[in-house]
Amino acid sequence: MGTRLVLFSPPPPTRTHQIFHSATPPFPFSRTHYKRKIPGRIHSSNARKFGNFLDLKSEQSPEFLDFDDLSWFQPHERSRFDVIIIGTGPAGLRLAEQVSSYGIKVCCVDPNPLLIWPTNYGVWVDEFESLGLENCLDRTWPMASVCINDSKIKFLNRPYGRVCRKKLKNKLIEGCVSSGVRFYKAKVWQIEHKEFESSILCDDGNELKGSLIVDASGFASTFIEYDKSRNHGYQIAHGILAEVSDHPFDLDKMLLMDWRDSHLGNEPYLRVNNSKFPTFLYAMPFNSNLIFLEETSLVSRPVLPYMEVKRRMVARLRHLGIKVNRILEQEKCLIPMGGPLPRMPQSVMAIGGTSGVVHPSTGYMVARTMALAPFVAAAIAECLGSSRMIRGKQLYAKVWNSLWPTERRFTREFYSFGMETLLKLDLKGTRCFFDAFFDLEPYYWQGFLSSRLSLVELARLSLSLFGHASNSSRFDIITKCPAPLARMMGNLALESIG
């Protein structure tokens, strides 16, 4: 859910809050599709009919913004910046836009500053509305649905949307340009620090200097340091934007999770593995012939093999009678989740994927990053925009604390506890968990998914979740949660001391 995130930010993230349980029919299909019987077993004739979409090549090609007004930095200028931001993803551009609005000199460095991001992002509509970014959604669905099993589905009365990557990037760059942000096309190889100044060395041999370096280059970055073992969980998914002959999903509902496994009826190996390490389908239907489909492992440690995820998706689409004719876009989504936060403070500031803001239990990040960037920008402006010019260690401490104040670090420990619990659940346990989770008051499940609950509210959520859980789910909680709970309490104690 990271790209949705998505995660799946995330997450931040009213509406009328209700959850509906269906009696009949049990699937989120429009009435015209109930006539089609979804088979419990795939016969060889069906396999031949619906084929294997993995044989198709994606038609996606790199796309770039046509933006003539970008202010490019020329190395011969020898300018010195207040802030240098590495990366022009959503996190980097949002922070650049916010920081530069204070009159601070900012430069964004990226190998392809105008490249439109290839990854799909899904968000809850109210999250983007609260940020004034609702015009950056290219499609919204008034409801979402969650298939617990073959006989139970829940409808979530919370609108969901897909981010229009071109609109969002264009809006952020426009904000940057209007505030004087400069751009430099290069890859950063090395960062060096002096007491009150830092510099980056680029792959073209040029050097740029600034008071603060911010790493917004994503999960693969090597510039951020940790002082604890990085025991991440991993979300992995295979997604396609596909042209199909037909599909069985309602056009007014986004499918958030489908935990059914009837599609693996004639795949014994896949079914056994799925019962231990389950995956679900995530689907955004645009029209009767265009749909985004993603098979997702919510979290696993170690990461579930990518080919395993793809094979499960093949079996699922065959079972649903979905024939893929063209693949317009294709993506492999791999998101590290949970694990320790970066060492704080340190000389390089982080924002986005490498900063720890990914929701540890869902993978959501985009909306959350959009919401947190103004806090970081305000802290930077307080230091670099003042006549005192606070730099060096005091600057680093101030900006890191703006992203991760004590309360936010505490709540992240709780979300990480949620991830560690999910890691211990098999398919049956996962179904029971989400059955109880989406029975909670909407304030709680929505707040959890959007990372906006306080520590006290998270404690109340836990008690309510236990009350809504089935007996088997309570048994899972009692037997499988003590170790993660003890870890969380220990980490909270260390944070309090620190």
Q: Residue 85 above 90 pLDDT?
A: yes
| Dihedral of alpha carbons 399, 126, 366, 417, sign | positive
The gap from C-alpha 111 to its chain's centroid, in whole angstroms, comes to 23
Q: Residue 25 above 50 pLDDT?
A: no
| pLDDT for position 496 | 57
**Helix axes 306-319 and 268-276, enclosed angle (nearest 10):** 110
* Structure letter (DSSP) for residue 174: H
Q: Whole-angstrom Cα distance, residue 434 to residue 436?
A: 5
Percent of the chain with pLDDT over 90: 73
Q: Residue 17 above 80 pLDDT?
A: no
Three-state DSSP string of 203-265 = CCCCEEEEEEEEECCCCCCCCCCCCCCCCCEEEEEEEEEEEECCCCCCCCEEEEEECCCHHHC
| pLDDT for position 435 | 94
| Dihedral of alpha carbons 246, 250, 251, 254, sign | negative
Sheet architecture: strand order including 137-141: 122-124, 160-163, 137-141
| pLDDT for position 488 | 60
| pLDDT for position 50 | 59
The HSE-up count of residue 147 (CA atoms within 13 Å, CB side) is 22
**Banded model confidence at residue 21, pLDDT cuts 50, 70, 90:** very low
Question: For 128, phi and psi rounded to 5 degrees?
Answer: -75, -30
Judged by DSSP in three states, 146 sits in: strand
Percent of the chain with pLDDT over 70: 86
| pLDDT for position 40 | 37
Residue-wise pLDDT for 238-264, tens only, equals 999 999 999 999 999 999 999 999 999
Q: Residue 130 above 90 pLDDT?
A: yes
Which amino acid appears at position 397 of this protein? A
Choice between 388 and 30, residue whose per-residue pLDDT is larger: 388
| pLDDT for position 184 | 97
Residue 424: count of CB within 10 angstroms of its CB: 14
Average pLDDT value for residue range 148-162? 97
Residue-wise pLDDT for 377-418, tens only, equals 999 999 998 777 899 999 999 999 999 999 999 999 889 988
Q: Residue 440 above 90 pLDDT?
A: yes
Q: What tokens does 365 get?
A: 């990040």
> 318, 42 in Cβ contact below 8 A?
yes
Q: What tokens does 340 get?
A: 């320790």
Average pLDDT value for residue range 126-154? 97
Range in 239-248, 259-268, 350-359, 459-468 the model is least confident about: 459-468
The mean of the pLDDT values for the chain is 87
Q: What tokens does 476 get?
A: 């899972």
| pLDDT for position 465 | 85
Residue 35: count of CB within 10 angstroms of its CB: 7
The gap from C-alpha 394 to its chain's centroid, in whole angstroms, comes to 31
Range in 58-62, 142-146, 388-392 the model is least confident about: 388-392
Q: Residue 39 above 60 pLDDT?
A: no
Q: What tokens does 460 get?
A: 């109340």
Question: How far, in Å, are 85, 343, 489 from residue 395 at the CA level?
Answer: 15, 15, 30
> In what helix (H) or strand (E) does residue 445 lie, and over which residues does it extend?
helix 442-449
Q: Whole-angstrom Cα distance, residue 14 to residue 316?
A: 35
| pLDDT for position 468 | 79
Average pLDDT value for residue range 166-180? 97
Strand 348-350 with 207-215, pairing: parallel
Choice between 348 and 30, residue whose per-residue pLDDT is larger: 348
**Banded model confidence at residue 59, pLDDT cuts 50, 70, 90:** very high
What DSSP letter does each residue of 369-417 carry, written as one string? HHHHHHHHHHHHHHHHSSTT---THHHHHHHHHHHS-HHHHHHHHHHHH
| pLDDT for position 469 | 77
Bridge partners of 162, per DSSP, are: 122, 139
**Banded model confidence at residue 284, pLDDT cuts 50, 70, 90:** very high
